[in-house]
Structure 1
């Protein structure tokens, strides 16, 4: 099985009904819209998808909805993380049986320790199926940092490790991985406000957040950067950055869902312990968004 890890891959939000159950109808619609706008794949159950608040049964049903909606058109590559290794392995196996074509492998939600234990955890998930896998490195959120040398060790041991989502916020990691592994792994930028710099450093894909609301702009920015269209990329990036920075703060889920609601592509509902924005935070977010909408550029067709 082969997955092309190049392109824009939305880390999708999980939509909720008023009673905070999963809204599968909108979930399917959202996946279809994102693919129609040029997304190369769909990544459910990640941090932005509030995966830690979902039960195992909810996760399984979300994967089934995504696969049924667009799984024949683009790969569904869920985030695989859990409190324990056994649960993560079970989710990986279910993803394979549900028709997902790849996996994004995370460290455990809570427990972070030394390389021996973290290697054992991700190795168990990588070895659970033959699906192509992408390792998710996000030391800011998960307190586990997979450095280039450790990634090289995993790549040597697991042929199905095909890519890395690099979210350390340090674009030097892209060049560090390339120096050790050449083109053995695809590298995808995992923080929205580093996409142009990441591609300049050698990344070839983007796991994106604001794409949930602005897919056309996201795909255009990625294309400009990949094609070396510096002027076009710089102009679009300048407009987009205040929104993209919403992806890099603790309340990124609330912010991105707020943006989706404003443009009519979802609801701001989140599951506790998250709460919807209010007060000054809400006012500032709305001001940023309204300015962006008022100055939204016309894209080349």
Structure 2
């Protein structure tokens, strides 16, 4: 297996063209910029609009990144799906590509499913992909899936598949839950990534592995500075600066807001496009987001086409 992926990762925004098809060249350019600012690529996460992207599109985009020379060892593709065979196909494809890990949602259509059912889903993925399966990171986002990744489920999966189950992304927003994951399992080599950089200063001293955060898409350098500098005298200032940027985007329209900022900074209005059922940000909200970022002298250094 490749080295474990740690640090700051972006659930990479997916650009679409006027026909609402994934825009491969914009995608590659954005990923390359993120890598250049020390961010890993959690492609096909929630903020990638992954639930609106087909398995074939995800695999084609992964192949395009590899063909463009981007390193598989810095990728953690999202491979979860409601249909088990689709999750297996995505996981097998990313594993063969050499991905550092797989970020795997539980099946999320049926609600109130048993822990045995969720365990069986992950077990079937691992068994069917086989000995070449990349490390799996469990994706806990119960506010959307209504299928939680419980501590007992983690314990069971680690007991059965200690070489494959490598960690979790905790998108619950509940620090007590993130801390419990770290406290219970970090000693067993289970890497926990909170979904917000705002938890970095609390998570890293107790064994957190980094973060997989939406706003890494727009502020990779600032968030990486928090990860690198949490032990130093500047840590509180770095954390406060990252938190200020995040608060601009926090809310129900996070994806269109980030895409609007990319459209503004790159001078490329096509970046604002989202796939239905999402809709683009209205002008008043978009203007407010840009104004708030300008007021804090926010800068996306070196972004392709940046002003």
TM-score when normalising by structure 2 = 0.86
Unmatched tracts of structure 2, length 5 or more: 302-307
Q: Give 1:203 shift.
A: 0.9
Give matches, 1:1-301, under 5 Å: 1-39=1-39, 41-72=40-71, 74-112=73-111, 113-129=113-129, 130-158=133-161, 159-181=163-185, 182-225=187-230, 228-229=231-232, 231-245=233-247, 248-264=250-266, 267-278=271-282, 280-292=284-296, 294=297
Q: CA deviation at 1:73?
A: 6.6
Q: How many angstroms apart in 2 are the aligned matches of 1:288 and 1:281?
A: 11
State how far apart, in whole Å, the 2-side matches of 1:187 and 1:164 are: 5
Counterparts of 2:17 and 2:283, CA distance in 1: 24
Query: What CA distance in whole angstroms lies between the structure 1 residues aligned with 2:175 and 2:140?
Result: 12
Question: For residue 305 of structure 2, what is the aligned residue in structure 1?
Answer: none
CA root-mean-square deviation:
2.4
Aligned residue pairs, count:
293
Unaligned runs of 5+ in 1: none
Aligned-pair CA distance for 1:274: 0.4
Residue range with higher mean Cα deviation, 178-187 or 149-158: 178-187
Greater CA drift, 117-126 or 160-169: 117-126
Structure 1's 284 and 125: CA in aligned 2 closer, same or farther, altered over 3 A?
Answer: farther
| 1:9 match: secondary structure | strand
Q: Deviations over 1:18-52 (max 9, x none)?
A: 2221111121122222112112x311111111111
Question: Runs in 1 of length 4+ with deviation above 4 angstroms?
Answer: 295-298
CA contact (8 A) 1:236 1:297 kept: no
Secondary structure at the aligned position of 1:5 is classed as coil
Q: Secondary structure of 2:242's partner?
A: helix
Per-residue CA deviation, residues 183-227 of structure 1 (Å, 9 max, x unaligned), is 4211112124323233244312211221212221121121112xx
